[in-house]
Chains A and B, each alone.
Chain A
């Protein structure tokens, strides 16, 4: 898996490409930890190129959300395929981590949050 990184104003867009699984989950957590160190705490996880996720990948998303929320930021997901969304539904992770209908909506949610305080912005 590789993670492509973009910055749109104060929001970081992470685009994992491939599989977010036990062998790669730590990479996502490490990326988010580095962003928080640099005071980027609003992250959009664009899952459009995410082919597969397992419970370790889900755990990495939950951990990333906790890390970002602990710094007054947050994580929003977008672009997930139906099977990926189903994993979040089954575990009810989607009640804690919001899913945006589009990348633009996700950016809007996070930029509004950033405007109200927390992180770079």
Chain B
């Protein structure tokens, strides 16, 4: 998936995450989903959860989101410097929200797993790198040439 690649470098805080999400939604609208449908919503949500995690836990002062799209789908690669983040402990869905005493938070990584086709995490060169793959499987999506 190297047809078209865009890299966004940003300060990982919640307000800036909003701006990066808006940029990602704009890229999706421009490239393949002009009306911003379910694919764009789910991709933006997966990216938001990953970026919020970096903003909340990494302590990094800078992060990088690479967006790569081709005719099959989109790959997002989020990299941030810092200590290794063990994602496996946080990937399970918490006690579900239907429980009166159920968790109000902790759904982020579990939601990412539900919304993308594949997720990979590596720690390399002092950076946590999370890669999300989401395929076009919706007939409504046609990518411009």
Contacts and interface: CB of A to CB of B under 8 A. Distances in A.
A88 B111 CA distance: 11
Interface string B60-103: 00000000000000000000000000000000010011111011
Interface in A92-114: 92-97
A6 B15 CA distance: 28
Contact of A55 (B38, B41, B102, B107): B107
Most buried by B among A62, A82, A96: A62
A95 B98 CA distance: 5
B98 A52 contact: no
A22 interface: yes
Most buried by B among A66, A82, A92, A94: A92
Nearest to A1: B18
Interface of A: 19, 21-23, 52-56, 58-60, 62-63, 66, 69, 81-83, 86-88, 90-97
A56 B45 CA distance: 11
A81 B40 CA distance: 13
Interface residues of B, number: 30
Given A69-B100, A82-B38, A96-B97, A91 B55 contact: no
Nearest to B112: A55
A53 B41 CA distance: 9
B104 A62 contact: yes
A97 B103 CA distance: 14
Given A59-B105, A59-B107, A62-B102, A91 B18 contact: no
Given A22-B17, A55-B49, A82-B38, A91 B108 contact: no
B136 interface: no
B63 to A, nearest CB: 15
A54 B52 CA distance: 10
A91 B97 contact: yes
Interface string B11-26: 0001101100100000
B42 A83 contact: yes
Most buried by B among A88, A90, A93: A90
Contacts of A82: 38
Contacts of B41: 52, 81, 83
Q: 5 closest Cβ contacts across the A-B interface? A: A95-B98, A93-B97, A83-B41, A23-B14, A55-B107
Given A66-B100, A95-B96, A97-B97, 12 more contacts: A22-B17, A23-B14, A52-B44, A54-B48, A54-B108, A59-B103, A59-B107, A60-B104, A62-B104, A63-B104, A81-B41, A91-B96
